[in-house]
Amino acid sequence: MTVKETEASPESAGAEGNGRRATASQRQLVWWSFKKHRLALVSAWVLGFMLVVIAFCEFFAPFDDRHRDSEYTTAPPQVLKLWDTDGPDGFQWGLHVDGYTSEQDPRSLRITYEANPEDRVDVGFFVKGEEYELFGLIPWDRHLIGPEDPEDPMYLLGTTTDGQDLLSQLVYATRVSASVGVIGVLLAFALGIVLGAISGYFGGWIDNVIQRVIELFMAVPSIPLWLGLAAALPADMSPVTRYFIITTILALVAWTGLAREVRGRFLALRGEEFVTSALLDGSSRRRVMFRHMLPSFSSHIIAALSLSIPSMILAETALSWLGLGLRPPAVSWGVQLQDASKWSVLSGAPWLLIPGLVVVIVVLAFNFVGDGMRDAADPYKH
């Protein structure tokens, strides 16, 4: 056999035209393919905006979440106007909303509000309002938008039956509901990944035990389980404790699906020779599981993560709406929607459904981003 030695070079890399793809890290490849998914990209922007709002929610909300104006309960949304033609001086520029006139029905005692163009409420950006502390540290009193005189009513999305500003409440509720979703999913994932990995990697009786436990959790209908666990919480618990316990309860129900998925992946990978070779290289089992095997499908996990946040958010919303999750004074989307659960109230105040709309938008955004990531997750599939 006569064959001359040739210096090896990655010819396939050359064939791809440039070295960009060959040397690109997995993250870059995923990002390039994610960018092609238009809807996912738009959704990612929506979620990014939501994140900013969550981080600076005291600044974005015109009023504090405890702000209550008993003068204006269930007042309709106001229209933001750029100029004014009804004022005493005729046409006039200036951002403002119309104030309200109220009228009480003598028989039902229900108060109805009408926009009153005579009563002009000047609105400005970066106005001084209620004082707050950003991140609990930096004291400030500016709000992105608000009435120039903090005593004036400015309710862009109307008010609740308690006379709270729906917009401010919505901003604070977004922080609570979205973070329940994200934190809950992270908890569920920590549990699911570790148990799924152990189950799939070791197999045998360990696998058997974990799988039976998962089946047990899956066999219990999740809504009664939530209800039961949530109902067991004492009513006088502080909102913060309640928040964390509700999040944990949601996570305890949600981890099973992911554990199954991770187990399947580990089972499939266990037979791969690179796993054997990693063991022979002297890696500990934990290193093999979490450094060699897990990265092979980390992108799938991230995709699964963003796909399971919506169900977590919806679960929290449902629980709170039923009065078993978070309770006032905590605000979440579910708590807000409680207001809209009576038809008699809703028929006169349809704006109370706006939090529901936000739930739909956020849930869809998480789903689209998850879809995009799932498609982009395996950049090596060609």
Partner 1 sequence: MSETASSEPMLEINDLHIRFPVRRNMLGRVTVENHAVSGVDLTLMPGETLGLVGESGCGKTTLGRTIVGAQQATSGSIVYDGRDLTQLKNREKGRYRRQIRMVFQDPFSSLNPRMTLRQIIGDPLVATGEAKGAELEDRVAEMMRKVGLSPDYMDRYPHAFSGGQRQRVNIARALIVGPKLVVADEPVSALDVSVRAQILNLLRELQAEFGLTYLFISHDLSVVENIADRVAVMYFGKIVELADTAELYEKPSHPYTEALMSAVPIPDPSRRGRTGRVLLPDDLPDPTKPPPGCAFASRCRYAEAGRCDTGEVDFVDGVRCVRSEELELQGIAKTDAQ
Instruction: Using alpha carbons, select from 211, 245, 241, 212 the residue that is nearest to residue 226.
Output: 245
Instruction: Calculate the alpha carbon distances from 140 to 129, 173, 286 in Å.
Output: 9, 21, 48
Smallest distance, partner 1 to C-beta of residue 276, A: 5
User: Roughly how many angstroms between the first and final C-alpha of the chain, as a whole number?
Assistant: 36
- 295 touches partner 1 (CB under 8 A): yes
Taking CB under 8 A as the rule, does residue 109 contact partner 1? no
The answer to whether residue 48 forms part of the interface with partner 1 (CB under 8 A) is no
222-231 and 239-270 are packed helices; what angle lies between their axes, rounded to 10 degrees? Answer: 140
Q: How far is the CB of 191 from partner 1 (least distance, A)?
A: 24
Residues numbered 296 to 335 that lie near partner 1 (CB under 8 A) are 296
123 forms beta bridges with: 147
How far, in whole angstroms, is CA 49 from its chain's centroid?
11
85 binding partner 1? (CB under 8 A): no
Contact between 138 and partner 1 by CB under 8 A: the answer reads no
**Residue 10 lies near partner 1 (rule: CB under 8 A):** yes
Min separation Cβ 298 and partner 1, Å: 8
Does 18 participate in binding partner 1 (rule CB under 8 A)? no
Q: Which of 279, 322, 346, 363 touches partner 1 by CB under 8 A?
A: 279
Residue 290, classified by CB atoms within 10 Å of its CB into exposed (0-12), middle (13-18) or buried (19+), is: middle
Contacting residue, 161, 211, 248, 283, with partner 1 by CB under 8 A? 283
Q: Specify whether the CB–CB gap between 352 and 339 falls below 8 A.
A: yes
Residues 258-277, mask of contacts with partner 1 (x by CB under 8 A): --------------xxx-xx
- 31 lies in the site for partner 1, by CB under 8 A: no
Examine residue 33 and tell whether it contacts partner 1 (CB under 8 A): no
Size of the site for partner 1 (CB under 8 A): 34
H helices, E strands: number in the chain: 15, 4
Q: Establish if 17 lies at the interface with partner 1 (CB under 8 A).
A: no
**Residue 349, amino acid:** A
- Looking from the CA of 210 toward its CB, the CA atoms found within 13 Å total 26
Assess 350 for contact with partner 1 (CB under 8 A): no
Would you count residue 9 as binding partner 1 (CB under 8 A)?
A: yes
Cβ–Cβ < 8 Å for 378, 372: no
Residue 248 found at the interface with partner 1 (CB under 8 A): no
- Name which position in 20, 22, 36, 360 contacts partner 1 (CB under 8 A): 22
| DSSP percent split of the chain into helix, strand, coil, nearest 5 | 60, 15, 25
Which CB sits closer to partner 1, 371 or 378?
A: 378
Closer residue to partner 1, CB minimum distance, 167 or 376: 376
Pick one of 268, 281, 342, 357: the residue that binds partner 1 (CB under 8 A). 281
Distance separating alpha carbons of residues 349 and 75, to the nearest angstrom: 8
HEC profile for 47-87? HHHHHHHHHCHHHHCCCCCCCCCCCCCCCCCCCCEEEEEEE
Instruction: Using the rule CB under 8 A, give the single segment among 21-29, 91-99, 342-350, 360-368 that binds partner 1.
Output: 21-29
- Which one of 195, 278, 324, 369 is in contact with partner 1 (CB under 8 A)? 278
Taking CB under 8 A as the rule, does residue 208 contact partner 1?
no
Do residues 131 and 115 touch, judged by C-beta distance below 8 A? no
CB closer to partner 1, 295 vs 350: 295
Inter-residue contact 76 to 350 (CB < 8 Å): no
Binding site for partner 1 (CB under 8 A): 1-3, 5-13, 16, 21-23, 26, 272-274, 276-284, 287, 292, 295-296, 380
